[in-house]
Amino acid sequence: MPGGGDADKLIISQHAASITTPQQLLNRIHCCRAATAFQPDTLKLTFSVSPGLQATLEALIRIIAVTGGSLKLGAPPRSVHERALSKMLVNMGEWKENESFCISTSSANPV
């Protein structure tokens, strides 16, 4: 995703200037979370926004990418608990080894 230039900085600046209270973001930002990732010194950022903020989110993602971040789309590798549950279900005959496994119903945009 190329970009991260002056146009993206302008989009972010205009958005920041237009928001005067956190309440203005209610029902517009559905998820904004930072968590430590498996890889050392790495954070996982997760965003989900309303369609009206999609251009702002895309500008933010481009800026993060230009400054060293990388965009990862799709589901992350299964956690230890997900793998253990999958193994138990396979052993019980309730699950086939190659079936997909999803426990999240959110439409977050991982970064």
Strand arrangement of the beta sheet that strand 29-36 belongs to? 29-36, 43-49, 109-110
Give 56 or 98, the one with higher predicted confidence. Answer: 56
Percent of the chain with pLDDT over 70: 81
- The confidence score (pLDDT) of residue 73 equals 75
What is the tens place of the pLDDT at every residue in 72-94? 777 777 788 888 988 888 888 87
Binned at pLDDT 50, 70 and 90, residue 56 comes out as: very high
Ordered alpha helix ranges (H), the chain: 6-18, 54-66, 80-91
